Structure 1
């Protein structure tokens, strides 16, 4: 919300010496986020005056139109003679009033103006556009002023060029601050001065003569006020003061009727809409859309409506998305675009359900100034005052007549009250504020406060002497965010000043440090970073579309996601069951930006539904929850194991003077899994597998040994070409994902540093011929089992296939390293261990010793 300081002073008597930065400091202390304080027309220096064009000479012989103008500036130039000025714009004529900057002036940006010869004539100043004056980005032509303005008037004051604008980031719970009324209330409270509430207007009572309105969904629309103004001058333009306030607030002036509704929205926080009365057929209605209905909104886009969309209708069908944007069919007609223009308008000031508006805006990707306000909460009681303010401005500025009919539809609702003990803010903040301060601060935010004795004071039959007083607080209509005693306590605390809260450091219990899980998490991150991977953190939200891109079967367990009640995006309403979607999206994004050699990793939680998820109980903050309450909360949550995943694309080893490079392949993904397992001290075994989204011939299943049994912990390999194409990632992209918690449970204890033996190693090589379907890992397990305790390591160093072996056969060559911890092995001992290893492999896998 952009708030001009000059506009703010209209409602609050600020000291004349207060600057925008002073006001910003007060608002920040009250809990608002003031991002910047902008000085408009910074560096501007006069003379800058209103002039009247007396004559125009068209100069020829140039590539663009050039005009030599005589402009009357009265006595502003000290002589009273017309000013001769060269100008390249053609949107003004003789007799028009324009803004003239005279020699000696300085325009925003440090642009000094002087008399100079150009195009064969001396130009004594400049005729200005809006952008040259720092008023906006409009540079299409010269700014033409209304004809009634007197020649020689100081344009700096007339156009309110010098001002300070506070740019405030309004948080979702402070929707009332998306208006000058709300900001003025906060400013008045911060300075301890009265507020001139612009919503305090004399509003006529509703009657039966207003424009007919039918509300079919009272839950979606609990207030609807309709007023009619007739006889507007089609050519009436917005006055300068109105246009300038809109521009400073960040809005573009359009036409008088639209400008007035935008102005009142900024002033009171109530979004409004004006309909051309002659374009509305029959009564105005509010209902839910019928699935498949269509509406062309004011931005010219035809939208297919959803059954949950709340729409404004007439007898023909939808004419607007309620609380979001109006329809093009009832748009206010500009006199410049049509012969007659709009003369009669119907003004809508309604209050719509915040959730319904938010979902409609998100569904149609159509965020507007109106929807931003309804999403954060609009004062339902301000609708009638906003409609009256709009009527008053249209009558004043466009010569219209306010018709006596007033339509107002209201869904009955009582005031919201909250009961709170007077010392509750003291307990929350740890500061003794006292009853008087609590009541005063709550009244400053608009609450009505009544005190009585708390029922707990009479426990035991007599009132306790130190029993706290209970306050009954009636919340103002413009504060929907105040729902419980803690919200009221926050209001007291922020107005008393967060800076006045004492700083107390918590005292950690002795002996507490990182858990084993946290240590493993950090070790894995460091190990993968050391292996050349870059950590990428992604959002945990997914939709069905990404599972289709990954090629998951319809019954795949990963498609069962925990659904969010209020997702950030309707396209991603679930929580992830795998880390790959976010990592692959990061890889695609970086590849598209020119980084083609990528290795990314992420460690994070996945969310696996158990079927027992429920809406968790909201626990009070007055005390520590019981073990039963904590257990109930845990039971309501899905399983959340921690996973680790990597994705690779492009070159794994760069080419250079040292030799050829090497592209990343499936083996690198498997090696990343081995790196993780090594950090956890777990034994990892690898087997061929078929598992989406990996390529069926280049996919490895990763197993760990847990309580003596092999348990599947993840997969690694190259992605399937169809998944690569659907996801838009580079060809031959590889990936790995492991259940890190499962790997931790499979840990063999503390990871020990390798021991360097003083005894020599005995190496024996064996080549075994097996069927092509036999995994190398199975042969390796057999060798390890048969070799016994003397075996130090097994390494596969060659795989051979050929005609001499026969079809469907392969040769696996292993290097076996034997070593005894206490002596030098004899050749016979190493040979016996090797023979035992071969014998076990022959028995388990049907292998044949090559060359035997």
Structure 2
């Protein structure tokens, strides 16, 4: 929000010597983010005057049109004689009033003006454009002033060229500061001065003869005011003061009616819209759009409306996107000689903020109006804003207001908040006292009642603990006692809060779970994976792309009430969409050998809830929440298990002078799961499975044993993605992935990290090749070998798989290397062979394995 200091002084009698920097400091102290103070007209020096063009001579023989003009500048040149000036602009004629800077003057940017010879003539000055004067970027031609201004008039004062403009970054909770009225209120409070509220106008009472309005959706539009002005002069144009104020706040003047509605919007904070009554058919309506309806907005774009869009209509259909942008069909023609607009209907309404925000985001159509509506406007300001527009139209366009006043309002009660009088003291850790709290709340427009025996007086009566605060209509952000406490604290000054060091309990370090997650991250990074965190928001179409069944639990996602993007309205139930999107993006930019990982939360609705539980309770800020309060919050949240996931594509090891590399495979994804599990001292059992989005023949289910009760836990899956999934997601042809539940891994772990056992005694190695049926998983054979070998087995490694006619159709040979070692002695050959034979016996008994060659 750009705030010209000259305009601000119209509502607050700021000290005469107060500069923009002074006001900036005051507003910053009050909590507004004033980013810069722009000095308009810095370096500008006269004489800069109004001139009347007397003659124009077209000079020939040059590459571009050049005109030699004589201009009456009154007595500004000291002689009263016409001033001779060379000019290249062509948008003026004899008799026009223009802005002239005479020799000796200085334009912004230290551009000094002197008499000089150019194009064969001597130019004594310059006729100025808006950009040359620092009024804007328009450089299409020079400024043509209204004819009523006399030649020789000081143009610096006339055009208000010297001013200071504060640029305020308005946070979403302070929508009232998107108006001169709101900023003036803050300035008045900061300086302790009275405010001249521009919304305090005499407004006629509603009656039955106003322009007809029908509101079909009172939830989306709870207040609608319509006024009509007729007999408007089509040739009326915006006066200079109105144009300059709009330019200073960053808006280009367009036409008188549009300029007036924009002016009142910036003044009062209430967006308005003006309709050409001759282009309206029947009553104005407010409703939700119907499927397939279309509207061409003022920017000339035809838009397909969504059923949740709130629209303004007449008998023919939509004529505007409510609170966002009007329609082209009812646009007021630019005022001028040929304009046919003589009757204007003024709309001032209050719309539901969330509805407007979603419509603006859906159509990618942000506007000054939607920016205010989505932050919350003052519902009680509609009548005053409409009256202000009517007054200005009557004053500047020569019209008169019809007696009809339409106002449709949904009955509502003022919002009240009950707050302990010392609540701001407890929040801030200092003592303000009741009188200060009440005074500050009254300064922001609150009505405060205290439950005193003889009513609230502020100085007498029996004090009690509670204040009943009625919130002003222009502060929709005030809903809870903490909001009121924040107002008291900011007005008293954040810089005045005492500096106290917190008393920290003795540290206990990171929890076991935090340490485990750090170890996992380091282990995966050490294995060659790059961490790639992603946002937890996804679109529901990704579940179809992943090939999930219709009854898959992962389709039950928590839907956000106000998503950042309409295309990603739910929270993820699996880690893979974000990682795969990152892989696709990097692959598309030329990085084809990728290994990415992420650890984070997924969000699963609790059983019995459709889209997640109800709103959680608000926790106190002046004490630690109780166990019951924390339990209530936890009960209101979805389940949030922590996961780890990896995705791989391209080469796992690159080839080079050192030898051949190899592409990633499903085995690398399984090994990544083992890498994660090893950090928790968990041994994984791998079994073949069918689980979307993995290829049914290249998918593994990963199991671990619960350390508490010995039950088997399914902790995740790994494998190669199905070709249909890679095609749907635009991924490389071969992609592998893994996702495991870290909470279950922690539950299966021992909770301790132990280093490898190092023995000084030699190892005894025994190789064994077993022939099994082709359907027997290698993991089942390995498990049997481990159990049969006993405690002497140090490690077991599958180093070869062979199939062929030598061992029979439908059978395979699995060759394992078994390493035996004792911690306290050197094993004999007999002991190693006995352990090997026991392992083979166990495998034969459980899997039907036969020793190859036997």
Question: Is this contact kept in 1: 2:84–2:122, CA < 8 A?
Answer: no
Question: Is this contact kept in 1: 2:558–2:570, CA < 8 A?
Answer: yes
Q: Give how far 1:664 is off.
A: 4.1
What is the aligned partner in structure 2 of residue 842 from structure 1? 844
Q: Deviations over 1:791-840 (max 9, x none)?
A: 11112223334454454443333222221211222233323322332333
CA distance in 1, matches of 2:655, 2:166: 55
Q: 1:617 to 1:472 in 2, by over 3 A?
A: closer
Structure 1 counterpart of 2:563, from 562, 567, 582: 567
Pick which of 724-733 and 171-180 moved more: 724-733
Counterparts of residues 85-104 of structure 1 (less than 5 Å): 85=86, 87=88, 89-100=89-100
What is the aligned partner in structure 2 of residue 370 from structure 1? 369
Pick which of 665-674 and 430-439 moved more: 665-674
Q: Give how far 1:45 is off.
A: 5.4
Q: Deviations over 1:44-99 (max 9, x none)?
A: 5555554555325254563xx44244352736667755344353x54444544444
Question: Is this contact kept in 2: 1:453–1:469, CA < 8 A?
Answer: no
Question: Is this contact kept in 2: 1:49–1:73, CA < 8 A?
Answer: no
Instruction: Tell me how large the CA RMSD over aligned residues is.
Output: 3.2
Q: Deviations over 1:563-584 (max 9, x none)?
A: 3334334433322211222222
SS at match of 1:505: coil
Question: Is this contact kept in 1: 2:424–2:489, CA < 8 A?
Answer: yes
Q: 1:787 to 1:471 in 2, by over 3 A?
A: closer
Q: 1:106 to 1:801 in 2, by over 3 A?
A: farther
CA distance in 1, matches of 2:152, 2:574: 71
CA distance in 2, matches of 1:72, 1:454: 78
Pick which of 89-98 and 574-583 moved more: 89-98
What is the aligned partner in structure 1 of residue 56 from structure 2? 55
SS at match of 2:451: strand
State yes or no: 1:698 paired with 2:698. yes
What is the aligned partner in structure 1 of residue 764 from structure 2? 762
State yes or no: 1:712 paired with 2:708. no
Q: Deviations over 1:698-724 (max 9, x none)?
A: 333222222434322112233233222
Structure 2 counterpart of 1:537, from 524, 533, 538: 533
Structure 1 counterpart of 2:494, from 485, 491, 498: 498
What is the aligned partner in structure 1 of residue 10 from structure 2? 10
Q: Give how far 1:606 is off.
A: 1.2
Q: 1:495 to 1:465 in 2, by over 3 A?
A: closer
What is the aligned partner in structure 1 of residue 402 from structure 2? 403
SS at match of 2:369: helix
Q: Deviations over 1:164-219 (max 9, x none)?
A: 33222222322211111001000110111111111122223333332222333333
Structure 1 counterpart of 2:503, from 488, 500, 507: 507
Pick which of 505-514 and 372-381 moved more: 505-514
Pick which of 399-408 and 651-660 moved more: 651-660
State yes or no: 1:609 paired with 2:605. yes
Q: Give how far 1:749 is off.
A: 3.6
What is the aligned partner in structure 2 of residue 82 from structure 1? 83
Q: 1:120 to 1:820 in 2, by over 3 A?
A: farther
How many pairs were matched up? Answer: 842
What is the aligned partner in structure 2 of residue 224 from structure 1? 224
Pick which of 139-148 and 577-586 moved more: 139-148
What is the aligned partner in structure 1 of residue 554 from structure 2? 558
Q: 1:60 to 1:499 in 2, by over 3 A?
A: same
Q: Deviations over 1:753-783 (max 9, x none)?
A: 1233212222222333334333322222222
SS at match of 1:342: coil
CA distance in 1, matches of 2:99, 2:9: 27
What is the aligned partner in structure 2 of residue 433 from structure 1? 432
Question: Is this contact kept in 2: 1:423–1:468, CA < 8 A?
Answer: no
CA distance in 2, matches of 1:817, 1:730: 40
What is the aligned partner in structure 2 of residue 518 from structure 1? 514
Q: 1:35 to 1:726 in 2, by over 3 A?
A: farther
CA distance in 2, matches of 1:133, 1:597: 57
CA distance in 1, matches of 2:157, 2:809: 95
What is the aligned partner in structure 1 of residue 310 from structure 2? 310
CA distance in 1, matches of 2:235, 2:715: 74
What is the aligned partner in structure 2 of residue 795 from structure 1? 797
CA distance in 1, matches of 2:146, 2:282: 38
What is the aligned partner in structure 2 of residue 176 from structure 1? 176
Q: Which runs of 5+ in 1 are unaligned?
A: 458-463
SS at match of 2:190: helix
SS at match of 2:506: coil
Q: Give how far 1:741 is off.
A: 0.6
CA distance in 2, matches of 1:66, 1:222: 58
Q: Deviations over 1:426-455 (max 9, x none)?
A: 233232212221221111111223333279
CA distance in 1, matches of 2:141, 2:552: 62
TM-score (norm 2): 0.90
Q: Deviations over 1:579-635 (max 9, x none)?
A: 222222333344455555443322211111222533434455565554344333323
Q: Deviations over 1:335-392 (max 9, x none)?
A: 57x9433221000112223333334334444332222222222112211111111112
SS at match of 1:372: helix
SS at match of 1:640: coil
Q: 1:557 to 1:418 in 2, by over 3 A?
A: closer
Counterparts of residues 706-785 of structure 1 (less than 5 Å): 706=706, 707-785=709-787
Q: Deviations over 1:315-338 (max 9, x none)?
A: 2222222222222221112257x9
State yes or no: 1:483 paired with 2:483. no
What is the aligned partner in structure 1 of residue 813 from structure 2? 811
Q: Give how far 1:650 is off.
A: 4.3
CA distance in 2, matches of 1:696, 1:71: 89
Pick which of 833-842 and 132-141 moved more: 132-141
Q: 1:200 to 1:767 in 2, by over 3 A?
A: same
What is the aligned partner in structure 1 of residue 348 from structure 2? 349
CA distance in 1, matches of 2:479, 2:45: 51
Q: Deviations over 1:152-172 (max 9, x none)?
A: 545444433443332222223
CA distance in 2, matches of 1:524, 1:110: 63
CA distance in 2, matches of 1:187, 1:708: 69
Counterparts of residues 244-643 of structure 1 (less than 5 Å): 244-335=244-335, 339-453=338-452, 467-468=463-464, 470-510=466-506, 512-592=508-588, 595-612=591-608, 613-618=613-618, 624-643=624-643
CA distance in 2, matches of 1:530, 1:117: 75
CA distance in 2, matches of 1:312, 1:468: 50
SS at match of 2:597: strand
Question: Is this contact kept in 2: 1:694–1:718, CA < 8 A?
Answer: yes
SS at match of 1:376: coil
Q: 1:150 to 1:686 in 2, by over 3 A?
A: farther
SS at match of 2:374: helix
Q: Give how far 1:223 is off.
A: 2.2
Pick which of 156-165 and 734-743 moved more: 156-165
Question: Is this contact kept in 1: 2:512–2:751, CA < 8 A?
Answer: no
Q: 1:328 to 1:844 in 2, by over 3 A?
A: same
Q: 1:106 to 1:664 in 2, by over 3 A?
A: farther
State yes or no: 1:135 paired with 2:135. yes
CA distance in 2, matches of 1:139, 1:719: 59
Q: Which runs of 5+ in 2 are unaligned?
A: none
SS at match of 1:701: strand
Q: 1:817 to 1:144 in 2, by over 3 A?
A: farther
